[in-house]
Structure 1
């Protein structure tokens, strides 16, 4: 048994009933420490962030504490109250549920929004199918595919995270796409060809995106935090092919909607995914300096790179 001193990460904001010390064994994990510290005060263990002597957060909840040199050298940990938490699964379900409800409710609200009871065009119904199908797929992945390295996130972030989907892909897209004067209201023969191309791009992007998410999921055990180097379909081209296929899928939606509302949503999504992809590339290079094959493109490859990959 080893005794670790426990202190508050922010001395001016002490945590009520936080023990001043804790006993650990050779098998005690970071998650075990959280649960032991939370028990006396009836806290949610996920509210606690555990920091080492250098004030670095111990993110791996399955890491053995006695094997953390930065902790054992000073035999002390610092604890921070991260605030009310919400599981990542719950967060994603709420985020994606918004656009589904909003788009499906639009036909019922059409008389009140546009002062007309005229039926949707075939393009508008197709657009609705594509958007709803996209987010239903995301809900499926959240429940059955994704494996999260962090169990929870601060509850306050749910409002910021949901805004992107509820407003940009929900209210914003739905209002303009289903308007009787929108480009989507046109169902001419020429538009039919655009819809066909859009549908092909959409299904290619969605299926490919699911494939890459399964590849990423297979790198981690259920409930685990281990990381690996993703390889295979798409990963030889860019760091994050799941983002690349996401953009292809939404490009298909754009062909059908032909709306600036879709462009606005895609623009924000592209910007954010590009930042995430850069961060992912840096993390892989740092964690696997000797085995990771550095990528030149993080999100979208050049036409030449695509041709080279196809030729072999």
Structure 2
């Protein structure tokens, strides 16, 4: 064994992994990802199912190319614990599936109005406008998933696809569509043109600014890396996650167009969940960047939350 090569003691954690080696050898100057690759190769196991932690303190060893083995703190004969995370699915696939639900459900419910509601009355202009807004929103989400977002982790547990898809397909899909396109929906009745115009403006501003923040976040991470920078630019001086703030603005615009209680319920649930994610991100930024990061008082809604 050369002076630059170290041997790590591999220990199983949780469910057993067949063929898990007792030791692996890696170069101290190699990337931390080499630890994962060595274990996966020796055990002939899916690398995305592995979670490797230091035996000394249980802290995670990142599957990263921008950190060396030496930088992780492990040394010759250090113990590492290996856990099987179970069947995985890519984050990108999950996002595509969850957004595909409402993207298809809204047009289907709209087109099947005569069969669902038993009416031959034409849809109102506000119902048509709501349909257009929802299709634009979720089509934009799909585009961002395919061409904008960069994910810090390649995969997530496969069972998450059912939870995530259930939320989007039911709450923002069936729930919004059913109560919006029916003949008794508030959107089926005449509304204040000024409020509808304000709703359209808020929707356009919210979607455009949301896209801008997603591009900013994308550019913080180099392709193939998991490193992050401190986000700056539109909205980031106000709240931790302006992408969530602008998404809320867009959906308030939809609510001003269709005046449906189902949309209000969706907004409350969505803002609640995004707020929790935003506070977690705020704590992570403070821990990761220390004094370099300007702490935010509000995570998602200026002056409120």
Q: Distance in 2 between matches of 1:32 and 1:97?
A: 36
C-alpha distance after superposition, 1:47-72 (max 9, x if no partner): 11111122222234223223211x22
Q: CA deviation at 1:41?
A: 4.2
When the two chains are superposed, the root-mean-square deviation of aligned CA atoms in Å is 1.6
Pairing 1:4–2:8 present: yes
Unaligned runs of 5+ in 2: none
Secondary structure of 2:231's aligned partner: coil
TM-score normalised per structure 2: 0.93
Q: Name the residue aligned to 1:262.
A: 263
Q: Name the residue aligned to 2:254.
A: 253
Q: CA deviation at 1:73?
A: 7.1
Q: Name the residue aligned to 2:285.
A: 284
Q: Distance in 1 between matches of 2:273 and 2:76?
A: 39
Unaligned runs of 5+ in 1: 304-312
Q: CA deviation at 1:178?
A: 0.5
Q: Name the residue aligned to 1:128.
A: 131
Q: Name the residue aligned to 1:48.
A: 50
Q: Name the residue aligned to 2:71.
A: 67
Secondary structure of 1:290's aligned partner: helix
Secondary structure of 2:19's aligned partner: coil
Pairing 1:57–2:64 present: no
- Decide which of 16, 24, 32 is 1:22's aligned counterpart: 24
Q: Name the residue aligned to 2:175.
A: 172
Q: Name the residue aligned to 1:33.
A: 35
Q: CA deviation at 1:28?
A: 3.1
Query: 1:6·1:22 contact (CA, 8 Å) conserved in 2?
Result: yes
Q: Name the residue aligned to 2:88.
A: 85
Instruction: Kindly report which structure 2 residues correspond to 1:187-266, keeping only aligned pairs within 5 A, or say none.
Output: 188=190, 190-266=191-267
Q: CA deviation at 1:149?
A: 0.8
